[in-house]
Structure 1
């Protein structure tokens, strides 16, 4: 028999598992929902301040109570709940058949759960409350979110109004010690098979995760392992409330060892971002200066220019660097063949906290390009890709007169819920109303991941509202990064249309 031990996240308790647990039980599994001290149950007499070790002890008690010959224990941790799950599993590794990370991060030894809180302002509030309590880590509580503030902790996509009301009504304060005390692991838990359930309205799906592994993101290397599998659920951060039956089915399949396994980087397969560009573009000489490459057209100039801005985050160790990736070099050579200077560059978007630095890198590169006498400084376009999309906000807000067009391929056009960038200036949807008549060309992938597609839909709706000068070029069968994936029907035509649209605004 499979024995599921379910551990809920911050502010919540066993009640959130009710429907999922019922379905698992109906399928013949044994189910235990852990009531964490201070959340699902009051502290016992004599217990001091509640911290992470308190919650690890709660999970250990559940494991020991459920441990029977022949029963395979599957620990499921949602959100904050993965921290006590890992702490307990590390001490009972031989008793655990599998750990399921339900829309969680990857906790590491010595790192407190606070580091996984997406919103920087929330992290600062926790630290301030701990300092104000006078007991530091030992005491104090973080009040549960108000009804309208749950989205600061994760996407509420898929939650009914009733579910959101219930989540709010039954929420409990989170003991600060549970967020501030570092997780301590011996390493024993690394031997336990793991499954990740990715809620794609809140963060990346499997395909995006594979891309991140391919570019060499250090923190994700361990995920490309035969003992680690993944599932997707098209919902927000609380699937036990938004789709309990689908979650139960996923957990049953996970317990049996199912799921998608990622391919390790350097396994002999060419990663998607390094495959050939979908157009057969002739080679062209480039000039490399600092972090910028210039592909010049024939003739004396001065020529209009298109600056191509890569996405990310891309780890600093990635080789080749983005300005040498086939998509960027392909577009740059293509426009150079049509009389326009193509520019690629490397910027320092190595983490979602680096958008300020990356935006400054882009601005510096643009000014160097405009200062080149072979470039027409009054006719420049900026073309952004994927995670570079938030940087467009810098240019949509009071655009300079020399900026003739902004283009974006499969872009992220608002901070994703898991980024914790509440109030960030890198929010193109909010900036669009200040763009005036600046032409914007949007290349939209029909098979885009859910969390990115939501930002694009929001951007298009805002363009309709404020009357922005937006042209949309759809690639119905295209995926994120379609230029180097299997070319879908119409993808080449879409690239030609997009290039034509941008160059028309430069040359017109």
Structure 2
């Protein structure tokens, strides 16, 4: 499947949009299920090689709507990419963190269950979803460190780039080494997830065996050392699947992902 095949579909709309800052990209879309709740939450992070020109949160609308129909609330965050003023290091990370933490501010109003939050990220968003889960282990000297980050119970990465240092060494990463340099500023100690190991939460990496954008080998390349560090990391390699299918509701890959998200949330 190609991107135009997905974008040609009618795009579902969220229940509400909530600002966490003044920039036009500092916004979260809430997808709220029917019923009184309390609702478990998928904290959703879009990809696009950390570049706002390539993608924004709306690329996730179809799977967000699918989770909403399954009784799972979705907190679909946006952030300034490396190609926007204030993006890169540290802005992109601070945006993702602020968007995640703003869930606490609005949880009571929308009856969202803060004890059941799973981060779900696609492509570059897979990296940010894992990073959000590991924020509590950031070095004390890091400007990205927060005193009390939102607890995340697990992570589902969809075709993610989990190890920035590995991607920075490989021009075939799909995003390119220059973008990673803009994102990290060369500071892997607080931006690359393996440096934060063990995260202490279950992690599931779902990849398409025919993904031509993000090398499928990145999944096991990340999983092996994380397991050695003590983390519970599982990899699902889905055949006849590329990069786009990972966020298409009727795809085999999304069926795996939706099941994993439901299990992680105790559903």
Counterparts of 2:213 and 2:12, CA distance in 1:
36
Paired residue for 1:382? 119
Map of 1:299-378 to 2, 5 A cutoff? Answer: 299-313=35-49, 315-317=51-53, 322-325=56-59, 328-351=60-83, 354-372=88-106, 373=108, 374=110, 375-378=112-115
Matched, 1:289 2:38: no
Q: For residues 436-460 of structure 1, give each alpha carbon's deviation from its aligned partner in whole angstroms, at most 9, with x where no partner exists.
A: 2x11121112123487434323212
Matched, 1:275 2:24: no
Counterparts of 1:452 and 1:345, CA distance in 2:
25
Counterparts of 1:413 and 1:388, CA distance in 2:
9
CA change 1:396–1:316 in 2 (3 A) is: closer
Counterparts of 2:53 and 2:65, CA distance in 1:
25
Secondary structure at the aligned position of 1:507 is classed as coil
Counterparts of 1:434 and 1:460, CA distance in 2:
11
Paired residue for 1:30? none
Q: For residues 61-114 of structure 1, give each alpha carbon's deviation from its aligned partner in whole angstroms, at most 9, with x where no partner exists.
A: xxxxxxxxxxxxxxxxxxxxxxxxxxxxxxxxxxxxxxxxxxxxxxxxxxxxxx
Secondary structure at the aligned position of 1:329 is classed as helix
| Greater Cα radius of gyration, structure 1 or 2 | 1
CA change 1:445–1:292 in 2 (3 A) is: same
Paired residue for 2:211? 448
Structure 2 residue corresponding to 1:427, chosen from 187, 192, 195: 192
CA change 1:501–1:314 in 2 (3 A) is: closer
Secondary structure at the aligned position of 1:376 is classed as strand
Counterparts of 1:428 and 1:314, CA distance in 2:
15
Counterparts of 2:241 and 2:136, CA distance in 1:
32
Counterparts of 2:44 and 2:135, CA distance in 1:
19
The gaps in structure 2 that reach 5 residues or longer are 20-26, 138-148, 170-176
Counterparts of 1:298 and 1:363, CA distance in 2:
27
Offset at 1:493? 3.0
Q: Structure 1 residues 295-304 or 466-475, which shifts more?
A: 466-475
Offset at 1:382? 0.9
Matched, 1:501 2:235: no
Aligned residues: 227
Offset at 1:504? 1.7
Indicate if the aligned counterparts of 1:272 and 1:484 stay in contact, CA closer than 8 A.
no
The gaps in structure 1 that reach 5 residues or longer are 1-270
Indicate if the aligned counterparts of 1:331 and 1:342 stay in contact, CA closer than 8 A.
no
